[in-house]
A and B are shown apart, each in its own frame.
Chain A
Amino acid sequence: MATLVFLEHHGSELLKGGLGVLSKAASLGDDVSGIVIGSGVRGLADEAGKFGAARVYVADDAQLEAPLPQPRVDVLAQLVRDKGADSILFANSVLAADTAAGLAARLDAGLNWDLVDIARNDGKLVGTRPALQDSVYVEVGWTSQPRIALFRTGSFDPVASGGAVETEDVPVQLEDFSTGARMVEQAHAESEGPSIEEADVVVAGGRGLGGPENFTLVEGLAKALGGAVGATRAVVDAGWYPYSTQVGQTGKTVSPKLYVACGISGAIQHKVGMQGSGVIVAINKDPNAPIFDFSDLGVVGDVHQIVPKLTELVEQRKGQ
């Protein structure tokens, strides 16, 4: 079965998500190819071989430099027409979701999104998709080929299996409308201070803190626990805290040993960024907040009361 995996990169690195999907596809015993699309990206192909790609297609063109979806749809659609593919797999990101959706429309191909797993049952590919705030797991399939799948962030770890890779250049021919949107200023990941992705403890704050000034409570607890500070998209967009600390779908994905959520409701966009944490403690005054459905210890109460007391107790403990 011919499977094509979209390998997204940022700067000069392939993203882990795509490599994880590549490893998963290889473990199903498929004939797996990766595709790297960008400008000056030929050097990234070898890396893909280590994670299970037998072949890497490279679309290297100055017009593909900006991470915009529509030119990528053009390249993928052309490749599928030329070489054929039974399945086209993507690790979720803003770029990947838009590219996968555009490609689905272009090829009239089924797209299943937010998958956390894929397996072959009696020869048929079946995806697993958590739905309704993860309260039910839905097994989904495709009724035609190619099938397109978009996997939830962090679904698969990249597994280095070694192996040589053959690379093949693919032609780049873009539709007029695909170049109608133009990157004026591209964001680059900030890298100051200890990364929250590496921290053993993350203390995160959300809208329930009431205002930016109350982030000092979160910072105090993080310091006492020797951890990093995280934030939800709502407070980042409101300008309370910097984007580099944002945990969730369009932010960082973290998996510390301990995650303390302060005044965070637990929307699905936040959940996907932190559900891999070892132990989750949540403090929220709303007893019906979804965060309590996936926390190990849920505390219904006022963060403004509890967090300072907790910080004090942690400091006392350390002083002993």
Chain B
Amino acid sequence: MKIAVCVKHVPEGTKRIDPTTKRLDRGGEGALNPFDANAVEEALRLKQATGEGEVLVVSLGPAKAQDALRKALAMGADRAVLVTDDAAAGSDLVATSRALAQALERENADLVLFGQQGNDSDGAVLGAAVADRLRRPMVSQVAEVTHADGKLTVKRQTEFGYDVIETQLPAVVAVSDAINEPRYPSLKGIMGAKSKPQATLSADDLGLTAEVVGVGGSRTEVLELKAPPSRGESRKIEDDGSAAQAIIDFLTEKRLI
């Protein structure tokens, strides 16, 4: 089975929005989006279970998104494709899904995996948008995947519990972070990652013009940044053995007991 995993390079540590560009500041150190590590892990397990196939990681991002791809290669992925182009900066869902779908079309994988969401944007929407462009069945919030007889059976968690859904292949699946515990890359994996195939594609390579990528291809805009409404007074104490009593006093003051 050929599996393509879409991964995102996200800023590490405390994130900030640049007040001038009103975009997330991607200038500092970055890392593989933690939710995507679950998708990479699941791909590696599926490949291992079937005993054959390829795990390919695909990302759209700045040149240094290479770091996120390299982490996935160090975990065990076979090959990486980075779509990077200055013209693609500031892409929203419409533009991002188009560029990714275009890159994925060339690969024609049996299964395209996504992590549940980006830990920077909190969006859990990219998988469904890409699936629509690829015209493939998709399931999100997947907590378990079984592959048999050329089909996938998955467990999806929704507001009402766990659904069992069967999908034909090729398909797009967004996995939840509960699906597995991602492995840490071994030293051998890290060393080996450098020599694995890593391709870079520009918007032009994918036949994408300025009208359909980046800001030009986007349909949403950020207008203004504001301070969040304050929640009122908040207290924080450290337990020195009297915390239980302090909580009782607080609840009494609030007339809750």
Binding site for B on A (CB under 8 A): 10, 67-70, 73, 93-95, 97-106, 108-114, 126, 128, 130-132, 134-144, 150, 175, 177-190, 201, 225, 233-234, 237-238, 243-244, 250-252, 257-258, 268, 279, 281, 283, 287, 292, 294-302, 305-306, 309-310, 312-314, 317-318
Tell me the smallest distance from the CB of A40 to a CB of chain B, in Å.
18
Q: Complex Cα distance A252/B157, Å? A: 12
Residue from B16, B128, B130, B235 with most neighbouring chain A CB atoms (10 Å): B128
* A136 adjacent to B223 (CB under 8 Å): no
Query: Is B184 close to A, CB under 8 A?
Result: no
Tell me the smallest distance from the CB of B26 to a CB of chain A, in Å.
13
* A68 adjacent to B165 (CB under 8 Å): yes
B246 touches which of A112, A186, A299 (Cβ 8 Å): A299
Q: A94-B141, A136-B228 are in contact. Are A141 and B133 (CB under 8 A)?
A: no
Stretch from B41-49, B53-61, B74-82, B91-99 that touches the partner: B91-99
Q: Complex Cα distance A310/B257, Å? A: 12
Tell me the smallest distance from the CB of B173 to a CB of chain A, in Å.
9
* B128 adjacent to A101 (CB under 8 Å): yes
* B223 adjacent to A140 (CB under 8 Å): yes
Query: Is B29 close to A, CB under 8 A?
Result: no
Stretch from B1-9, B62-70, B117-125 that touches the partner: B117-125
Query: Is B200 close to A, CB under 8 A?
Result: no
* A105 adjacent to B130 (CB under 8 Å): yes
Nearest 6 A/B pairs, CB to CB: A301-B239, A110-B219, A187-B161, A180-B137, A237-B178, A309-B244
Tell me the smallest distance from the CB of B17 to a CB of chain A, in Å.
6
Considering the complex, give the chain B residue whose CB is closest to the CB of A287.
B238
Contacts of B246 in A (CB 8 A): 297, 299
Binding site for A on B (CB under 8 A): 15-17, 22, 92-94, 97-98, 120-133, 135-141, 143, 153, 156-168, 171, 176, 178, 218-229, 231-239, 243-248, 250-251, 254, 256-257
A128-B226, A178-B137 given; 20 more Cβ-contact pairs under 8 Å? A98-B128, A101-B125, A102-B132, A105-B132, A134-B228, A137-B227, A138-B222, A138-B224, A140-B223, A143-B221, A181-B168, A184-B165, A184-B166, A185-B163, A188-B160, A297-B234, A299-B243, A306-B239, A310-B248, A313-B245
* A140 adjacent to B220 (CB under 8 Å): yes
- Binding site secondary structure of chain A: mixed
Considering the complex, give the chain A residue whose CB is closest to the CB of B236.
A298
Considering the complex, give the chain A residue whose CB is closest to the CB of B133.
A105
Q: A188-B161, A306-B243 are in contact. Are A301 and B137 (CB under 8 A)?
A: no
* B156 adjacent to A94 (CB under 8 Å): yes
* B128 adjacent to A189 (CB under 8 Å): no
* B159 adjacent to A94 (CB under 8 Å): yes
Q: Complex Cα distance A184/B168, Å? A: 13
* B138 adjacent to A135 (CB under 8 Å): no
* B165 adjacent to A257 (CB under 8 Å): no
Contacts of A268 in B (CB 8 A): 122
Q: Pull 9 A–B residue pairs with CB atoms less than 8 Å apart, ordered by A.
A: A67-B158, A98-B127, A114-B122, A132-B15, A136-B225, A180-B168, A189-B159, A243-B162, A306-B239
